[in-house]
A and B are shown apart, each in its own frame.
Chain A
Amino acid sequence: MSQMTNDGGSMVKRRHIVTKKTAPYIFLFPMIVLFAVFMIYPIIHSLLLSFQDFSGGVYTFCGIQNYVTLLQDPIFWKSLKNTFIYLIVQVPVMVVLSLLFGVLVEQAFLKCRAGFRIGIFLPSVTALVAYAIVFKLLFNTDFGLVNHMLQAMGFSGVDWLNTVWGARMAIIIAITWRWTGYNTIIVIAGLKNIPTELYESAEIDGASFWQKFLYITVPMVKSILLFVSITSTIGTLQLFDESFILTGGGPNNATITIGHYLYDTGFTYYKFGYAAALSYALVVIIGILSIIQFKVTKGGEE
């Protein structure tokens, strides 16, 4: 067959190659290639590692030993507990704050809206090192600004970074500071999608601010809020920076996260098999959580 006819044939056929049937595969093709090579392969590789023990420079198969060790590892349970404390306390607070700031920034009367948006967004672009130093200084027991303010208001100071709950609160405050603005911007994108007629007709009906908020805003941004919650949940479960930099996981492992312990196990203790097992334990936990969230999502969509 000559080149010519071949080309001509494909030109005609072209219209039929991309059909409703084949289109999804074509749309997905680049992603599937990337995914198979750079995601599935390493995942399987490290899953196999989780059944091996690394010592003396070689991996040896050790069955489910890593998983047995894990169930008996007090630090694993502690890190799990800490992570869930962050999750339960921090994510709801942040979602509510994001919604509040989002709604306030989008109030029609507001002047200098762009300035407020940027101001609130800024923490998420602040470099980690600046963020860490500032928060360490702010939470310093003896000369930190937070304690100065507490004392000025007549409270006694808190030994933030050296007590169990003080350190946990410091981490929660720090994460909230860092990520609320980012989520606010996402919420604003959702708010912008609400047709203004809805508010207009509600105003004609004499709805108050709160009524509009509860009966129009919240239902209309439900999917965005869910999105924010899911991404924040995943972010929290993989939390690393704050524990690593701000508190070093201490005191007495009171603030260590699974992500931090995982890092220590692999990159500091060189227990590569065990680190892999830890991460798959984390996957199972997140999997269970996401099934729950998936159920919630379905409820939301109907």
Chain B
Amino acid sequence: MKNVKTMPKVVTYVILIIAVLVSLFPFYFMFVSATNTNADILSAAPKLFFGSHAVENYKNLSDRLDLGRVLINSCILTFTYTVLSIFIHSMAGYALAKFEFKGKGIMFGIFMMTMMIPGQVMYVPLFTLMNKIGWANTYQAVILPGLAGAFGIFLMRQNMLSFPKSLIEAARIDGCGEFSIFFKIVMPTMKPALGALAIYMFMSMWNSFMWPLIILGTKSMYNFPVALSMLNGVAWRKDYGVIMLATVFAVLPILMIFLIFQKQFIAGVMGGAVKE
């Protein structure tokens, strides 16, 4: 009898511990490698323990990169992008989920279709456009095209579909304005979805590479991925120790954001209350 109860617990722990170990290994390797030399990393038995090259790697890294500047760039881009996305996409998603209006179906269909178009084909027209309006090498040129993507709308619409219409109607009868309904009644119940949206948007901008590379002209504007790829230099001269150290710097902020965020993400769950 006791076995029946404890077995699932043991199995759960075993599965999860294995999953976490498998997840963590490359991460651990990244940290370890940041303290080792290139030869150590590429040897047949790569070093799996912390080495003594961290300082040297850091010196080489800071010779080539202004880490502070890169961090600031990445933060400005990512925070602006995420905040704007939360407003723009949830408003649009709300309109598509909870209102009836002309052309709604077609509009949603078009949004969905563009989600499927690979970004690469749009780089050249976008680049030309940005240069024409004088936005080359600016942050807004990096941020705005990404916001035109429909993923956020899709995410928010799907979540808002299940929001009870009766609550919205009741608020209207109480004389509540449309914006007030949206921000005071709907949005607070959307915290899990907004959390997912924020994580998604944060990660996609933090890791965004090709478009920033193309549109950002000067080193002082680079975000982490672009700066990191600069370190790659040429294939036969890569120093993985330095690159790994740089990636550690690139990953730490996103990790911290997740640590802070996941609490709010979990605490803000209102879902059960709004089910019809």
A and B touch in the complex (CB under 8 A): yes
Are B8 and A282 in contact, with the CB atoms below 8 A?
no
Please, how many residues of chain A have a CB less than 8 angstroms from a CB on the other chain? 91
- A266: nearest residue on chain B (CB-CB)? B120
Question: Smallest distance from the beta carbon of B235 to chain A beta carbons, Å?
Answer: 11
Task: Determine which of A101, A130, A286 lies in contact with B33 in the assembled complex, contact meaning CB atoms within 8 Å.
Answer: A130
- B162: nearest residue on chain A (CB-CB)? A223
Give Cα A28 to B102, complex, Å. Answer: 13
Q: Which residues of A contact B91 (CB under 8 A)?
A: 27-28, 30-31
Are B16 and A27 in contact, with the CB atoms below 8 A?
no
Interface residue A155 (Cβ < 8 Å from any Cβ of B): no
Near B by CB (< 8 A), chain A positions 38-88 give 38-43, 45-46, 49
Q: Which residues of A contact B203 (CB under 8 A)?
A: 124-125, 182
Interface residue A119 (Cβ < 8 Å from any Cβ of B): yes
Known: A127-B251, A130-B26, A275-B120. A24 touches B99 (CB 8 A): yes
Are B243 and A129 in contact, with the CB atoms below 8 A?
yes
Known: A130-B33, A272-B124, A282-B118. A192 touches B271 (CB 8 A): yes
Give B202-218 as 1s and 0s: 1 = Cβ < 8 Å from A's Cβ atoms: 01000100000000000
Are B177 and A15 in contact, with the CB atoms below 8 A?
yes
Q: Which residues of A contact B125 (CB under 8 A)?
A: 41-42, 45-46
Give B147-175 as 1s and 0s: 1 = Cβ < 8 Å from A's Cβ atoms: 11111010100100110000000001000
Are A192 and B33 in contact, with the CB atoms below 8 A?
no
Interface residue B77 (Cβ < 8 Å from any Cβ of A): no
Are A18 and B178 in contact, with the CB atoms below 8 A?
yes
Give A237-264 as 1s and 0s: 1 = Cβ < 8 Å from B's Cβ atoms: 1100000000000000000000100110
Give Cα A263 to B272, complex, Å. Answer: 45
Are A116 and B20 in contact, with the CB atoms below 8 A?
yes
Interface residue B94 (Cβ < 8 Å from any Cβ of A): yes
Interface residue A271 (Cβ < 8 Å from any Cβ of B): no
Binds A, one of B50-58, B59-67, B106-114: B106-114
Near B by CB (< 8 A), chain A positions 270-294 give 272, 275-276, 279, 282-283, 286-287, 290
Known: A20-B172, A23-B178, A123-B26. A43 touches B114 (CB 8 A): yes
Binds B, one of A1-9, A103-111, A162-170: A103-111
Give Cα A107 to B13, complex, Å. Answer: 10
Q: Which residues of B contact A223 (CB under 8 A)?
A: 158, 162
Interface residue B126 (Cβ < 8 Å from any Cβ of A): yes
Q: Which residues of A contact B228 (CB under 8 A)?
A: 127, 129
Most buried by A among B33, B122, B129: B122
Task: Determine which of B16, B178, B225 lies in contact with A105 in the assembled complex, contact meaning CB atoms within 8 Å.
Answer: B16
Give Cα A279 to B118, complex, Å. Answer: 7
Give Cα A133 to B195, complex, Å. Answer: 31
Known: A114-B262, A143-B44, A259-B118. A126 touches B126 (CB 8 A): no
Are A110 and B12 in contact, with the CB atoms below 8 A?
yes
Q: SS class of chain A's interface: helix, strand, loop or mixed? A: helix
Q: Which residues of A contact B232 (CB under 8 A)?
A: 129
Interface residue A269 (Cβ < 8 Å from any Cβ of B): no
Near A by CB (< 8 A), chain B positions 171-196 give 172, 177-179, 182, 192-193, 195-196
Give A9-21 as 1s and 0s: 1 = Cβ < 8 Å from B's Cβ atoms: 0000001001111
Question: Smallest distance from the beta carbon of B85 to chain A beta carbons, Å?
Answer: 10
Q: Which residues of B contact A107 (CB under 8 A)?
A: 9, 12
Q: Which residues of A contact B86 (CB under 8 A)?
A: none
Are B99 and A283 in contact, with the CB atoms below 8 A?
no
Question: Smallest distance from the beta carbon of B256 to chain A beta carbons, Å?
Answer: 10
Q: Which residues of B contact A137 (CB under 8 A)?
A: 46
Known: A27-B91, A42-B126. A35 touches B192 (CB 8 A): no
Known: A15-B177, A287-B116. A104 touches B15 (CB 8 A): yes
Known: A23-B178, A42-B129, A46-B122. A121 touches B192 (CB 8 A): no
Interface residue B79 (Cβ < 8 Å from any Cβ of A): no
Are B27 and A126 in contact, with the CB atoms below 8 A?
yes
Task: Determine which of A127, A234, A263, A275 lies in contact with B250 in the assembled complex, contact meaning CB atoms within 8 Å.
Answer: A127
Q: Which residues of A contact B83 (CB under 8 A)?
A: none
Give Cα A118 to B257, complex, Å. Answer: 11
B residues near A (Cβ < 8 Å) are 8-9, 12-13, 15-16, 19-20, 22-27, 29-30, 33, 41, 44-46, 87-89, 91-92, 94-96, 99, 101, 104, 107, 111-118, 120-122, 124-126, 129, 144-145, 147-151, 153, 155, 158, 161-162, 172, 177-179, 182, 192-193, 195-196, 199, 203, 207, 225, 228, 232, 240, 243-244, 247, 250-251, 254-255, 258-259, 262-263, 265-266, 269, 271-272, 275
Can you report 14 A-B residue pairs in the complex whose CB atoms are below 8 A from each other?
A: A19-B178, A24-B104, A30-B88, A42-B126, A116-B20, A118-B258, A119-B24, A121-B258, A133-B29, A177-B26, A195-B275, A196-B272, A231-B151, A282-B117
Chain A to chain B: the 8 pairs with minimum beta-carbon distance, closest first: A193-B271, A119-B20, A127-B247, A286-B116, A45-B125, A24-B99, A42-B125, A130-B30
Known: A18-B179, A24-B104. 12 other contacts (CB 8 A): A28-B95, A34-B148, A35-B150, A38-B144, A119-B23, A121-B23, A130-B247, A196-B272, A237-B116, A262-B121, A275-B120, A290-B112
